Chain A
């Protein structure tokens, strides 16, 4: 297991977000809304098996995306009608 921080950033408005790894739901949060002053909606801190595929879904918008994450950080944002996942080796910064 290794730590994974997932930053939900731009584009969320009253959404439900769910994180699954290997089909198992690890994390869920309702009413997720981007705070425009910092471009962060919420941050999830998890322990996941190394090299596993992480599925992020936003059921309130029927959006799902998966990514095999090898980095300690994953940035997630909604751009138009797409859920964009961006693995990162650096801590995402917000101000």
Chain B
């Protein structure tokens, strides 16, 4: 739960607090610096930033040589000729100090291959501990350059609900040979009220820095060092590239670190080849920097041969627990000093480390969660040269400039921390950075598909918001689409524009990492539909204030088409009575959100949520929100619940059908469900019948917003209450 907002420095409840004074509402939002002191105006900020930068004299045409020494050599100094002062770029990484928050800011507007973005990670400081708090990115920046300062402005997207999401960054322009000036990061509310300010000293021209440890198997005497890209025809300038060099070009500093081990072949076991499990064990044993946490550190192991055989050149094997911390390359196939082999060694090592940054293969971007269109034609480190559709390996190498493609570059430099840091998100979760272009109407749509988004026009404040999705074919020759339209499966995305203008893409609390079955939409199956719960997820509550919300969904079809839905407007009603207000208050809290997402739980850490739901039912039994609480707790009462204790003992709470029946009465029509079950015997048929009945009759029993929630969760409800229908 977010307690303080680093963009404002205020506790969240205070953020929206209004003080009534003589009938006039005054928004209280004093600006803060580093979350603690008052904000500064632009001129002051620039002055502070300049003062923090080291003083360095302007360069002269005689450089560092003392002119007095020139006379003794019979050389007279040249008269001074005024030269235009060359300024250094402002691109790079900056870091603030102080407490309670520190910011690592990345400015990417004028360096090599600028992506015209800025991004930042926020860390909370508590005593001697530093914890990651969240990330921010501005995808569309405005850059103003004066002779003395660069000013960057834009609206950020955040991993939390930021109160002051706009940013203004000012960086003094420093002479070319001096150190970079400090950046002033000023947060602003949407209305332009100043929020927190951070003074961030220049750290490095690199946007990220990773500790890079390499070990080798004892049978690999000469691991890859570097390759001259001019040795063979290519699509870029000739230069000597190591793995560190390839990442330096992407804006990442790979710092050699740790202890270099020579790993004994006996660690492969009897067969002499490496399984993924053996590689993982070797990583834990030999990667001196390894910890089971997200950290900017990666291990590359130069090994001989994988269990899969000589066709496997390399693998990012670390796909359990904290993933993406290690990769291996195999010299049974890669060894050799020819230009071909050296080029392959560079490609493979850079490619495998790319997976550690959570990059998928170029032709598999649609398997990312959430997905993006595949890019099989990409001239990227993440492709397979021999799969290149425009002429195979020969054509690929001739055109390949030895770099990541643009979207990958943005991901590496600016993805939210957990989507890119080693040990962060599981592989492929967040591996494709959101593409704002993908939410705009296409110039031409030949997808043969139509996606519709529907919902009740309004929701009670606090009631769970769920939306109907319907995907249909407009071209009856057949269109292949995922069988289920579910955000949690990662095959449909729903963007939500909140009343204050902030846009979020709904992120479910849990992902199902499975490849979906596909279905062909044609004359026989013209469409599929689903109801999706979008009320609570990784960003917390998406509908947390009354007002008008705009929603849009999209799917990426099997052929890569981006199919956008209509724009849907949903109003969350303002509380009218004191009872509405207090009932809604009991619906908000991470515990309640998680309980609504999971359809209830006995889990100890969610106890506060269950208490709030019980309180709601006893204090406001007739309020529509009490029905939501009864549904969640009734479904949970119907299930068996296992809990594992600290000593690994398992306690089982048996289903309580009487309690379930009492709570669900008036919310779910169990009698109708029993009729639907009829004489069905097998559990799967019973569950399907109950789920179908819930879908078809929910509307008649309860308010439209609760009916939508029941439809969205009908399968989970059916699994639990099917026993009560027998």
- A positions within 8 Å CB-CB of B: 5, 7, 10-14, 33-40, 43, 61, 80-81, 91-95
B315 close to chain A: CB less than 8 A: yes
CB-CB contacts of B343-365 with A at 8 A, as 1s and 0s?
A: 00001100110010000110010
- B positions within 8 Å CB-CB of A: 308-317, 319, 333, 347-348, 351-352, 355, 360-361, 364, 367, 384, 386, 427-428, 480, 514-515, 517-518, 520, 558
CB-based contact B308/A36 at 8 Å: no
Closest to B347 in A: A95
CB-based contact A38/B312 at 8 Å: yes
How many Å from the CB of A54 to the closest CB on chain B?
A: 19
- Cβ–Cβ < 8 Å partners of A14 in chain B: 514
- Cβ–Cβ < 8 Å partners of B480 in chain A: 80-81
Interface of A is mostly: loop
Query: How far, in whole Å, are A43 and B448 apart by their CA atoms in the complex?
Result: 37
- Cβ–Cβ < 8 Å partners of A36 in chain B: 360-361, 364, 367, 427-428
Query: How far, in whole Å, are A41 and B582 apart by their CA atoms in the complex?
Result: 54
How many Å from the CB of B387 to the closest CB on chain A?
A: 9
Q: List 12 A-B contacts (CB under 8 A).
A: A12-B515, A13-B515, A36-B361, A37-B315, A37-B317, A37-B319, A38-B312, A39-B384, A40-B312, A81-B480, A94-B308, A94-B312
How many Å from the CB of A94 to the closest CB on chain B?
A: 5
Q: Which of A12, A81, A95 contacts B518 (CB 8 A)?
A: A81
Q: Which of A11, A13, A34, A95 contacts B315 (CB 8 A)?
A: A95
Closest to A12 in B: B515
- Cβ–Cβ < 8 Å partners of B360 in chain A: 36
Nearest 8 pairs of A and B residues by beta carbon: A13-B515, A95-B313, A95-B314, A37-B316, A80-B480, A91-B311, A95-B348, A94-B312
CB-based contact A37/B313 at 8 Å: no
Query: How far, in whole Å, are A80 and B520 apart by their CA atoms in the complex?
Result: 9
CB-based contact B515/A37 at 8 Å: no
Query: How far, in whole Å, are A95 and B349 apart by their CA atoms in the complex?
Result: 9
CB-based contact B319/A93 at 8 Å: no
CB-based contact B308/A43 at 8 Å: yes
Query: How far, in whole Å, are A81 and B355 apart by their CA atoms in the complex?
Result: 28
- Cβ–Cβ < 8 Å partners of A61 in chain B: 517
Closest to B348 in A: A95
Q: Can you name 15 extra interface pairs (CB under 8 A) apart from A36-B367, A95-B314?
A: A13-B515, A33-B515, A34-B515, A36-B364, A37-B319, A37-B427, A39-B384, A43-B308, A81-B480, A81-B518, A91-B310, A94-B312, A94-B384, A95-B315, A95-B347
CB-based contact B427/A95 at 8 Å: no
Q: Which of B309, B333, B355, B361 contacts A43 (CB 8 A)?
A: B309
Query: How far, in whole Å, are A31 and B353 apart by their CA atoms in the complex?
Result: 28
Query: How far, in whole Å, are A49 and B517 apart by their CA atoms in the complex?
Result: 35
Query: How far, in whole Å, are A69 and B585 apart by their CA atoms in the complex?
Result: 68
Query: How far, in whole Å, are A95 and B315 apart by their CA atoms in the complex?
Result: 6
